[in-house]
Amino acid sequence: MNLAVRDIRHNAGRFVFTTVGIGMLLMIVMGMGGIYRGLIHEATLLVDRVGADLWIVQGSTRGPFAEISRIPATLEDRVRAVPGVAQARRFVSHTIQREHNGQPLRMVVQGLSWPEDHGDWVPLVAGRALRQAHYEMIADQSLNLPLGSSIRLGKDAYQVVGLTRGMVGTGGDGLTFFTVSDAMAIQFDQPGEATRLERAARRARVENMDLGRLQPLLLERAAGLSGGIPALAPPQVSAVLVTLQPGTDEAAVRRTLGTWPDITVYSTQEQKDLLLAGMVDKARRQLGLFRVLLIIISTIIIALIIYTLTLDKIRDIALLKLIGARNGVIGGLILQQALLMGAFGYLLAWWIGQYAFPHFPRLVLIEPSDLVSLAMIVVVISTLASLLGIWKAMNVEPNTVLSA
């Protein structure tokens, strides 16, 4: 005869309400684990998908995600000349926040190295990859930009030709893919007046120099397009992505590139480690501490409820002792109740999570291994929570049943 189940049936209301409470707490514990997994997944998604063997970034920086990296776009041509390099691509990545339909819209702008890279590696759920060098974009569904719609960014409008799902940046903002030149145009866009003022300033500076006064052509150049001034820095990109030829010794290529003082080279794994160590680690520790606190709170709640249920049936326990019930029967009654409470709470947490987590603004990724580890934690905390009740029950004298 299972005494635990019969007692629960008798105290169904209290058991159900407590279990719901425990279930909600466990759902938050589960959700926090899922948020952490989601953070890692989102942070490393692009690095995983972009398919680069090496990331070349600005020297002595940990870019382009952990910090800003600026390198000349022409670096890709130098890299192509290194033995063992199959492909070098410019990579531009920056986050912008604009207004769209009266709402703020944050997006991560990714530049694809046109014409080598059309974005064929981007997993599309609708539409197609880029087909022209300008004014097309691929957007994530989380941005709510329908296929075929246009959005003005800077001086130009871009049409959404492809949609992805779940492609977000480290901050949870949807990814958008443009050609590198469009991405740079968006990044460095400035109002016409600012351009005019900059040109005037350049002309004024040159006019104040002997060379400017002697060379009228130089004055014209200074007041013209910035691209027409060779002395100015070439266009900057965030990184250059390197794909190696099959069978190439990666270490050898890295040794070669390592002699270039203006750059730093990272492997894909190193790039992921930088992301996780720098950007996700604090969030991980924060979520981890919250999880620990919630688990402690859950343990205390289960312990208090089990203790109260034990106190309620202290005479019944005394009677069981009087009629000769072994400690195992009495301890089992209390332990089973705690385990059932934990188990039902856990199942409730999982069930509610199925419906609740998809509505969270950021990805909540529940891995089977996390479910298993949480189940084990629930078993442990339920067992610990039952100890107080078991201790109380073990100390009950059988003659308690004779007291009024």
Partner 1 sequence: MKQATDPIIPAVEVTHLRKVYGSGHTEVVAMRDATLSIAPGEIVGMFGPSGSGKSTLLTAMALINPPTSGRISIGGKPVMDGPRALVDLRAFRREHLGFVFQKANLIPFLTALENVQIALEVNDTAPKAARKRAMELLDYLNIGPRANNLPVALSGGEQQRVAVARALANNPSLILADEPTAALDGPLGRQVMELFAKIAHERQAGVIVVTHDHRTLDVFDRILDVEDGMIQSRIP
Q: Which residues bind partner 1 (CB under 8 A)?
A: 1, 3, 6-7, 9-11, 313, 315-316, 319-326, 329, 397-399, 401-402
Neighbours of 403 (CB within 10 A): 8
φ/ψ of 81, rounded to 5, equals -80, -10
Is the preceding peptide bond at 216 cis, omega within 30 degrees of 0? no
**Nearer Cβ to partner 1 (2/95):** 2
Residue 375 or 401: which CB sits closer to partner 1?
401
Residue 330 C-beta: closest distance to partner 1, Å: 10
Helix (H) or strand (E) holding 22: helix 12-50
Residues 6+ apart with CB under 8 A from 203: 219, 222, 223
For 31, other C-beta atoms within 10 Å of its C-beta total 21
- CB nearer to partner 1: pick between 373 and 399: 399
- CB-wise, 48 or 397, nearer to partner 1? 397
Q: Tell me the one-letter amino acid at 349.
A: A
Q: Which residue lies nearer to partner 1 by CB, 74 or 399?
A: 399
Minimum distance, C-beta of residue 344 to partner 1, in the bound complex (Å):
18
Question: Smallest distance, Å, CB 316 to partner 1?
Answer: 5
CA atoms within 13 A on the CB side of 79: 31
Minimum CB separation of residue 10 from partner 1 in Å reads 3
Helices and strands per DSSP (H, E), number in the chain: 13, 12
Residue closer to partner 1 (CB basis): 197 or 402? 402
The least CB distance from residue 321 to partner 1, in Å, is 7
In whole angstroms, the minimum distance from the beta carbon of 400 to partner 1 comes to 9
Cβ neighbourhood burial of 359 (10 Å; 0-12, 13-18, 19+): exposed
